[in-house]
Amino acid sequence: MTPQERYKKLKLHLSEENPVLLDVIKRYEILDKVAHSNGFLDPEDTYTAHISWWPLISILGTFSSGKSTFINQYLGKKVQSTGNQAVDDKFTVICYGGDEEVTTLPGLALDADPRFPFYNISEEVEKVDRGEGSRVNLYLQLKSVRTDSIKGKILIDSPGFDADSQRDAILRITSHIIDMSDLVLIFFDARHPEPGAMRDTLEHLVGAAISHRDANKILYILNQIDTTAKEDNLEDVIGSWQRALSQKGLVAGNFFAIYSEEAMVPIDDEAQAARLKRKRDEDLDAITARMDKVGIERAYRITKALEDFAKELKDEKLPKLDRALRKWARRVVVVDFVLFALLFAGLGLLQLQFGFIETVTSSPLSAALSGAVLVALLLFLHFKVRNFIGRRVFRKLEAGDKDLASAFRHNTRWYRPLIRSRMQGWIKRAQRDLEDVISESKKAIQRLNDQFVSPSGSRPDE
């Protein structure tokens, strides 16, 4: 799908879902144009493919932590298999479909469809686990079902997480969905009250998530707390898990404790049962409220991503590209000067010893041919120098930032004049365009606010 086709589909979708974002998509087009013209994006790539345009909820967790039961209850249908052991070893993307029965499609359906968050994920898997990119069906599957609770959003269920046995491909996919999601629910099992035994899992699931720039979107859920009723040690279990999570930097407000009424163990003590139910209802209401409002968060996230992409280009990537091009140009000029000086010095010696210049310019024809050969030789040396120094700079840039390296290669092609690297105008123009994009993204945030708030006291639609 070309960027133009993607824009067309997005505009059709947004005109129905949230017209405010139609202005945002226009700014994405400007952002892409700047990135394409400077080589930061492949012509067939677009920044709109680097984020999810559909609200996305991811559910991660350890084996037998009750993820599948929670998902089935939220959807109101049995979509995922449940059990005390690992029942599914794939990431499952669940979305709204036209059939009452669950339809299951292979991972290829996700890898090849730009509407979903796993578009081209096989390439990412291949980077970290060679040979596994072609086996994407082993890692992903798509399920669709007709249920109102999933309308307008996408749900991702992860395989049960066992950090000691995870392959690099699983860890890469996990990081990918944490980045792409609007809301991440991480489940732990209250039946294993010693979090020290889960240290590796905490390191991978919590340690990686908490360092995310938007850590507030991650909720930590201690599930199956009904199993604590027999010893009446709910507070001890919760306290133990909270201490373990706080060591990773988790704020207390993101921690919840729930259980499933359908799968719960019988509780004889009515007061204890009421206490657990009260805790469960409060936390479950808070979780589902976040899930139901994920569409609002997605609109803000799309708009904020536009600003972030533009700022990164304006403040970081373009200045770095400018410095790299200037460094390259200086080196080319110095080496050109040395080589040309040596060449003309050699010609001077030949002239002194053999009268070389008079010989090769003895007639108008020979003079013209000699001049043409000299110019060709100078150009040959110049482009050899350009390419040699350019490759060295490119390899150094590629080790740190592949997008920057691609932009450098784009701007040092043979037909690009060397003097362009010494001109600030083209970067200034690009930065002005990006400043406009940033300004418009802030205005779009204000328009989104107008849909939900009214500081003056009037209704937002007045």
- List the structure tokens of 417: 């004049």
Please enumerate in sequence order all residues whose Cβ is within 8 A of that of 340, keeping only pairs 6 or more positions apart, or say none. Answer: 378, 381
Position 392 scores a pLDDT of 92
Position 98 scores a pLDDT of 80
Note the pLDDT tens digit of each residue in 395-441.
999 888 888 999 999 988 888 777 665 555 678 888 899 999 999 99
pLDDT > 50? residue 164: no
Note the pLDDT tens digit of each residue in 250-279.
555 578 888 888 777 777 778 888 888 898
Position 378 scores a pLDDT of 87
394 vs 158 pLDDT, higher one: 394
Task: Tell me how far apart the alpha carbons of residues 281 and 283 are, in angstroms, rounded to a whole number.
Answer: 6
pLDDT > 90? residue 32: yes
| Residue 163's pLDDT band (cuts 50, 70, 90) | very low
> Which long-range contacts (C-beta less than 8 Å, at least 24 apart) are formed by 420-426?
420/325, 421/325, 421/326, 421/328, 421/329, 422/326, 422/329, 424/322
Q: What is the mean pLDDT of the chain?
A: 79
Note the pLDDT tens digit of each residue in 171-218.
667 777 777 788 889 888 876 655 554 555 556 666 555 555 566 788
Q: Token match 């998530």: residue? A: 209
Note the pLDDT tens digit of each residue in 277-318.
898 899 999 999 999 888 888 888 889 889 999 999 999 999
Position 262 scores a pLDDT of 77
Position 232 scores a pLDDT of 63
- List the structure tokens of 151: 């309308």
Sheet (strand 218-223) strand order = 103-106, 140-145, 91-96, 154-157, 56-61, 183-189, 218-223, 255-257
| Residue 231's pLDDT band (cuts 50, 70, 90) | low
Position 31 scores a pLDDT of 95
| b/e 325-334 (16+ beta carbons within 10 angstroms → b) | beebbebbee
Position 197 scores a pLDDT of 46
* Mean pLDDT in residue range 241-257: 69
Model pTM score = 0.69
The answer as to CATH 3.40.50.720 being correct for domain 55-292 is no
| Residue 168's pLDDT band (cuts 50, 70, 90) | low
Domain ranges of the chain: 55-292, 311-439
Helix (H, G, I), strand (E, B) or coil at 156: strand
Other beta carbons within 10 Å of 126: 17
Mean pLDDT is lowest, of 115-129, 143-157, 220-234, 293-307, for 115-129
